[in-house]
Structure 1
Amino acid sequence: MLRCTGYATETAQAPLAPFTFDRRDPGPTDVQIDITHCGVCHSDIHTARSEWGPSLYPCVPGHEIVGRVAAVGSAVTRFKAGDLVGVGCMVDSCRECAACKADMEQFCEKGMTGTYNSPDPHTGGHTLGGYSKAIVVDQHFVLHVPEGLDPAAAAPLLCAGITTYSPLRHWKAGPGKRVGVVGLGGLGHMAVKFAVAFGAQVALFTTSPSKIEDAKRLGAHEVILSRDEAAMAKEAGSFDLIIDAVAAEHDINAYLNLLKLDGTLVQVGAPEKPLPVQVFSLIMGRRSFAGSLIGGIAETQEMLDFCAEHGIGPDIEMIRMDEINTAYERMLKSDVKYRFVIDMASLPAAA
């Protein structure tokens, strides 16, 4: 077994604290990764605090993982020691169902195995994530991180990046399309960057006048204050696609009404409580209200390569591992531009 240090919480109310545990030794198709950086996702907070239902404890969060390959199993063909690699939100799936065979492992009909807080068939316990020194993952779920990408900035691409890239690609954002992005946070700022890179006309919706200039710096062609009823009314029926990245309660109908005929609003933010949808917001204009979950392994690799080719990455703030609890509280106040990334060199070695 591989002795490992990390940070975990033991209950929904407890802060994250140092934690020592064992990883499995690499099997024939496994890759052992020394983690150098791990992004901090809002879903880490939801899971650590059991806000999406009861979590499995101890909980070691983290699913935006970048590091260097330390060892590989005897049957591994895609990676070698020293490679810069990443691991996102899942570490296994059945690989036999229609979704898996279509390279959409995130929709595995038997349920994909999350990087943390999922039953772990290898150990009989549950998976423990990237707030740790190392991780062991089957090669199928390991990604090549192009050497041209900054490893720290590459980490949030494994969740925030693919979560916004995938729906923009699926609903064909591009030249001639008007795309709206709701919320300028970890997800929203990546949605703006990708939509602009795809050639769409991009508008950012925000409740905060203080974010207008930053949204324009990130590439948004226009910024609309969603609390301005007149400004919202002026935009009615004018968007082909809206990506909603807000993870708090809000009026979804205000944005559905901005869609063109056959337009689509895709929800990628995950509020704790249901969002009420008025039927007439949908049937008047044959509008669609959709959801999207990360992306498959092949699409995630495509996204990483696209970022390297086009010089795209998140705006990040580096933190030490022992600053994680403060980072959580700052995230809840939207006090980060726009993604925290943990420098894993700050995590002590195993005793």
Structure 2
Amino acid sequence: MAIQTNEYPARGYAATSPESGMAPFRFNRRGLRDNDVLIDITHCGICHSDLHTARNDWGRTVYPVVPGHEIVGTVSAVGDAVTMHRVGDRVAIGCMVDACLECDHCKAGLEQYCKNGMTGTYNGKDRQDGTITFGGYSDRIVCREEFVLKVPEALASDVAAPLLCAGITTYSPLRQWKIGPGSKVAVAGLGGLGHMGVKLAVAMGAEVTVLSRSEDKRADALALGAQHFLITTDKAAMRAAGGQFDMVLNTIPVRHDVAPYLLLLKIDGVQVLVGMIDKMPELHTGILLGRKILTGSGIGGLAETQEMLEFCAEHGIAPEIETIAINTVNDAYDRMEASDVKYRFVIDMASLAEGSDPLGRGASAAL
């Protein structure tokens, strides 16, 4: 495959070790291959996975790492063979930038489960040259055209960004398990993923209950569209709700006992884990004998992600966001870890523009 020899200088923020925090970083994006698109990034959402990767919480990080897989921007150049996008298009990239597109999973629209391994938007390995991918905390990115999605006109760029992870991660299991009018859905956890799960399930016609350990989030849950709120520490209330739900969409991102949520399910009901949990407590299999299903789900394929964007545009669904400058990303990580955001941070990449102050010290040349 032909490749343009000119690389593209890029600026962004990277972690260089588990303890370094995020700091300004200069690097080069590859020249365009025939099927590549160059995108000037305008917005990038912040995901819990970004924090975990930057701090090497999962033990897989290759440094330096430029996180970011909730990317929105504008096409600024295309490779010679590109047919899907044109210069000036407003586009998006999610959690993957490549896959084989030839295996059974890819041909079924499940590129995220590519049998040969999908390539992550950051901290992944390029399928052709073996280099490590850098993500969206930067001013530009190069991506294979099939993995570039179109942003519907009705979606603003800042709110579109978190849909590329938080949106599709919750949309995909709701669609897979055919949630719709008459369905009863419980959403466990009301953070970046959970608040999108509530909005999407309500838009699909489901009756939605938010599960929380305390009363603190009741008002927010109802404001987001949930019809009911259930305190999981109230044993009597949990017993009374047993066997009621078609789905528990479990968005809790830390180790916890999933057994109480299984007891809430109807026969053949499903608890879908979408939060990244390193290990679950032991589970007595007797709980599953009532034909309760425990499964997981990871993002969605390309067609399904495009469908999700169109669904959100049609139904006026947007995440609740707080827009930040990129030089405050370390503070945003600390606040996210403390659950001090409602409900998703989005970086405005205009804060990386020439003449801005990325270090807060009056010296943009420090990038």
Match of 1:339 in 2: 344
Task: Report how far residue 14 of structure 1 moved.
Answer: 1.4
1:5, 1:348 within 8 Å by CA — same for their partners in 2? no
1:4-58 deviation digits (Å, cap 9, x = unpaired): 0000001112100000000001111111000000000001111111112221110
Structure 2 residue aligned with 1:55, among 56, 61, 76? 61
User: Among residues 159, 162, 166, which one is paired with 1:156 in the alignment?
Assistant: 162
CA distance in 2, matches of 1:229, 1:112: 43
Instruction: Give the conservation status (yes or no) of the 8 Å contact 2:98–2:127.
Output: no
- From 311, 314, 318, give the equivalent of 1:309: 314
Encode CA deviations 1:130-169: one digit per residue, 9 max, x unaligned. Answer: 0000000011000000111010000000000000000000
- 1:323 is matched with 328
Choose the corresponding residue for 1:126, options 125, 132, 138: 132
Question: 2:73 aligned with 1:67, yes or no?
Answer: yes
> Using the alignment, how far apart are the partners of 1:231 and 1:291 within structure 2?
26
The whole-number CA distance in structure 2 between the counterparts of 1:136 and 1:156 is: 20
**Preserved contact between residue 257 and residue 280 of structure 2 (Cα < 8 Å):** no
Asked whether the equivalents of residues 48 and 61 of structure 1 are also in contact (C-alpha less than 8 Å), the reply is yes
Q: Is 1:104 aligned to 2:110, yes or no?
A: yes
Q: Which region of structure 1 is more displaced relative to structure 2, 232-241 or 108-117?
A: 232-241
Among all aligned residue pairs of Structure 1 and Structure 2, give the percentage whose two residues are the same amino acid. 56
**Does the aligned pair in 2 maintain the 1:24–1:123 contact within 8 Å?**
no
Maintained 8 Å contact 2:119/2:127:
no
1:139: which partner in 2? 145
Judging changes above 3 Å, is the alpha-carbon distance between structure 1 residues 123 and 22 closer, same or farther for their aligned structure 2 residues?
A: farther
SS at structure 2 position matched to 1:204: strand
- Deviation of 1:123 (Å): 4.2
Task: State the distance in 2 between where 1:322 and 1:203 align.
Answer: 37
- Establish whether residue 244 from structure 1 lines up as the match of residue 250 from structure 2: yes
Equivalents in 2 of 1:78, 1:120: separation in Å?
21
- Compute the displacement of 1:276 (Å): 2.7
Task: Establish whether residue 40 from structure 1 lines up as the match of residue 46 from structure 2.
Answer: yes
Amino acid at match of 1:84: R
- What amino acid is the match of 1:295? G
Q: Do 2:186 and 2:209's aligned partners in 1 also have CA atoms closer than 8 Å?
A: yes
Equivalent residue, structure 1, for 2:3: none
Q: Is there any run of 5+ residues in structure 2 with no aligned partner, and where?
A: 1-6, 355-363
1:348 deviation in Å? 4.1
Which of 341-350 and 132-141 deviates more? 341-350
Unaligned 5+ runs, structure 1: none
Matched, 1:208 2:214: yes
Q: Deviation at 1:206? A: 1.1
Instruction: Decide which of 280, 283, 288 is 1:274's aligned counterpart.
Output: 280
